[in-house]
Structure 1
Amino acid sequence: MLSALDKLKSRYPHAHVWSFGDSAEMADELVQLVIAGDKKASCGSLAAWSQGEEAISPGDYHIVLDGSDHPACVIRTISLKLIRFNEVTAQDAAAEGEGDKSLQYWRKSHQAFFTREGTFSEEMELIFETFLLVESVQRD
């Protein structure tokens, strides 16, 4: 019998597989925001993206895992843009759907995240991704 992940991989054969954030708690929180329809964007440091093994392009599918490494949903990349941390707009922050969706909240939480990653700078370059929820996955 195929696992839920194997079934998704067969439906989306070239999908990237990953989870949000840098902890199981963050992965759970952020994937639930996606499923609820609040989170429609994400970003990462250009440094981290450059170290990734797979290039990501608009149109790509992603199987997003929860904090227990179980598939939670499938998303599809709509757009990617290069932007500096200090150029992120209130609209960009709201699209990420986190906290109160304000730019102030976004700056504080992302500064903490990128500081933990060791990449934070006001001038740092980010890859800002918008995406569409394709399907949520019911856990067996």
Structure 2
Amino acid sequence: MRTVDELKMKYPGANAWQIGDSPELASELADLILKGIKTASCGSLTSYQQDESPPKIGSYNIILDGQDVPVCVIRLVSMRLVRFCDVNDAFARKEGEGDLSLAYWRREHQRFFTQEGCFSEDMELVAEEFEVVEVL
């Protein structure tokens, strides 16, 4: 098994993180990435502006499961700003969650952003697409 420190030596500047807001969800989403179902993610523009080292196109990220074990390395291939209300079916499918529908995406992301304290229909999101470069 490779450690985060070993992976950061191979991928200088890479961040290591879980996707989701619980260990269970982090493991589920990491598995979707490994299966090639989840190829996109998003976050609020506000949270990106507060990040000390925000991701940028071409950057590498080490994806951790719910137990903080590295499962893969991804590379960010595109980023764009989109309002919550303008997210479309295609992006919802790329997020790979639930039944892959836009309705599911809206419900779960509204829940997430409400918990984060920043939800509004016209909030700006940073929509990211990525590719897996190494499975661990």
TM-score range, shorter chain: over 0.9
Gaps of 5+ in 2: none
1:76-124 CA distance string (max 9 Å, x none): 0000000000000000100100011110110011111111111111011
Alpha-carbon distance in 1 for matches of 2:117, 2:39: 25
Alpha-carbon distance in 2 for matches of 1:55, 1:85: 20
State the shift of 1:19 in Å: 1.0
Matched, 1:125 2:133: no
Q: How does 1:1-140 map to 2 (within 5 A)?
A: 4-137=3-136
Aligned length: 136
Per mean C-alpha deviation after superposition, the further-off stretch among 119-128 and 9-18 is: 9-18
Percent sequence identity over matched residues? Answer: 51
Q: CA RMSD in A?
A: 1.2
CA contact (8 A) 2:110 2:119 kept: yes
1:10-47 CA distance string (max 9 Å, x none): 11111111110111111111111000100000000111
| Residue identity in the other structure for 1:54 | S
Relative to the length of structure 1, the TM-score reads 0.93
